Structure 1
Amino acid sequence: MADCGCGNTRTDTRTQRQALRLALALNAIMFLVEVGAGVHARSTGLIADGLDMLTDATVYAVALAAITRSADFKARAAFWSGTLLLLTGLGVVLEAVRRAFTGGAPEGLWMIAVATLALGVNAFVLRLLARQRSREVHMRAAWIFTRADVVANAAVIASGLAVLASGWIGFDLVVGVGIGLYVMREAFEILREARKAGSTGGGGS
């Protein structure tokens, strides 16, 4: 009798849930850590990175809900994830502009320390999700979000080093805007994939 593959499907679903739950918990914790440290250190880059962590946690929650749902639901979940990411990126850019007129120089050591911790967390999550990444659009969206975070973390570390060396707020603001724009670019990628999945009637089986 041919193997229906049902056991493999159940195993894949359980593994995806475990990976996403762990990623959700880690990102929720790092959101609190980074935003708190960003406010303390007056760093737009850290605040932006923390808000991105919150967005990721939301995306992982959406992906969890989508695992056992239809391909159409997964495409819609990815669409709303992309929309949320786009709004987050825009908000980060606006915050950087605001701080350009009202903010003081950030604390470079805080930026470096917290961003390094965040980089370690995101590198772990990225590897965790890479094992589960498939053609399904909801999991692909979660992986794209985490990939963007790794880039953002590295940028904040570089900014912290530059601020520490010069004391100039401009480095932090440039990185904040850069993170916002990069996040928006990733959002458009997710939206394109969601549209493609929706138009073809599937995100993988």
Structure 2
Amino acid sequence: MSDCGCHHEAKNAQEQRVLRIALALNAAMAIIGGIAGWIAQSTGLLADALDMLSDATAYAIGLIAIGRTTRFKANAAWLSGSVLLVLGLGVLVEVGRRVIHGAEPLSGWMIGTALLSLAVNVTVLRMLSPLKSGEVHLRATWLFTRADVVANFGVILAGILVLWLGSPYPDFFIGTLIGLYVIKEAVEILGDARQARTESTPPTA
């Protein structure tokens, strides 16, 4: 009975359940956050929504990767990191566009939406906690969510400052910080993927 592979199958089933729930929650919040960011003219909320969308992509890739080879999982993590890097750079471009053309972010929308996102991300982070020391594609999903929690706190603070100061610049500032943080996480994930690729490549004779 010890060689039946039952423990491996149970582990995969648990991973699939966690990733499916995380995927659904992040996809929903990406849509909600994107709409709220557009209405609120907030680069911080738009950046956060893009981050949630990248998370949903990571969870989808994580589901596909379960039960696959180490090489496949490393490639999945590499794709996740690449998507996150592109989105992070896109956030910085959007911040620059709004600084030039102007915007009037609505603090109430920023704070309320970010609080909802924070509740979702804390829930998902707790669910993913057992996976953070797992294989590279699963570690990537945990890193994505950890970045989201930090971003949520930043958007809440920016919303408070926008209300207090009557200025859009706290929103521009947090949008920039989220973009830079997203890029940092992308580089970390790409580094993990590169290492996993190297370890999965058989030595040449």
Scaled to the shorter chain, the TM-score interval is: over 0.9
Q: Could you tell me which residue of structure 2 aligns to residue 26 of structure 1?
A: 25
Stretches of structure 2 that go unaligned for 5 or more consecutive residues are: none
Deviations 1:115-140 (A, max 9, x none): 00000100000110112334300000
Q: Could you tell me which residue of structure 1 aligns to residue 99 of structure 2?
A: 100
> How far 1:171 sits from its partner (Å)?
0.4
Q: Residue 48 of structure 1 contacts residue 180 of structure 1 at CA under 8 Å; is this kept in 2?
A: yes
Name the CA distance, whole Å, in 2 between partners of 1:151 and 1:4. Answer: 43
What TM-score comes out, normalization by structure 2 length? 0.95
Q: Residue 45 of structure 1 contacts residue 156 of structure 1 at CA under 8 Å; is this kept in 2?
A: yes
- Pick which of 11-20 and 98-107 moved more: 98-107
Name the CA distance, whole Å, in 2 between partners of 1:181 and 1:104. Answer: 21
Q: Could you tell me which residue of structure 1 aligns to residue 78 of structure 2?
A: 79
Deviations 1:76-135 (A, max 9, x none): 000010000000100000000000011322111110000000001000001101123343
> How far 1:5 sits from its partner (Å)?
6.6
- Pick which of 126-135 and 61-70 moved more: 126-135
> How far 1:6 sits from its partner (Å)?
1.3
Name the CA distance, whole Å, in 1 between partners of 2:196 and 2:134. Answer: 10
> SS of the counterpart of 1:200?
helix
After TM superposition, the structure 1 = structure 2 runs for residues 43-192 of structure 1, keeping only pairs within 5 Å, are: 43-192=42-191
Q: Aligned pair in 2 of structure 1 residues 5, 198: CA closer, same or farther (>3 Å)? A: farther
> SS of the counterpart of 1:94?
helix
Q: Residue 15 of structure 1 contacts residue 132 of structure 1 at CA under 8 Å; is this kept in 2?
A: no
Name the CA distance, whole Å, in 2 between partners of 1:47 and 1:5. Answer: 48
> SS of the counterpart of 1:47?
helix
Name the CA distance, whole Å, in 1 between partners of 2:13 and 2:4. Answer: 14
Query: 2:27 is matched by which residue type in structure 1?
Result: A
Q: Could you tell me which residue of structure 1 aligns to residue 3 of structure 2?
A: 4
Deviations 1:144-179 (A, max 9, x none): 000000000110000000001011111000000000
Q: Could you tell me which residue of structure 1 aligns to residue 192 of structure 2?
A: 193
Over the matched positions of the two proteins, sequence identity in percent amounts to 49
Name the CA distance, whole Å, in 2 between partners of 1:32 and 1:52. Answer: 11
Name the CA distance, whole Å, in 1 between partners of 2:144 and 2:31. Answer: 18
Name the CA distance, whole Å, in 2 between partners of 1:165 and 1:75. Answer: 46
Q: Residue 40 of structure 2 contacts residue 105 of structure 2 at CA under 8 Å; is this kept in 1?
A: yes
Query: Is 1:13 equivalent to 2:12 in the alignment?
Result: yes
- Pick which of 95-104 and 178-187 moved more: 95-104
What TM-score comes out, normalization by structure 1 length? 0.95
Structure 1 runs of 4+ with >3 Å offset: none
> How far 1:4 sits from its partner (Å)?
2.5
Query: Is 1:37 equivalent to 2:36 in the alignment?
Result: yes
Kindly tell me the number of residue pairs found equivalent between the two proteins: 201
Query: 1:169 is matched by which residue type in structure 2?
Result: P
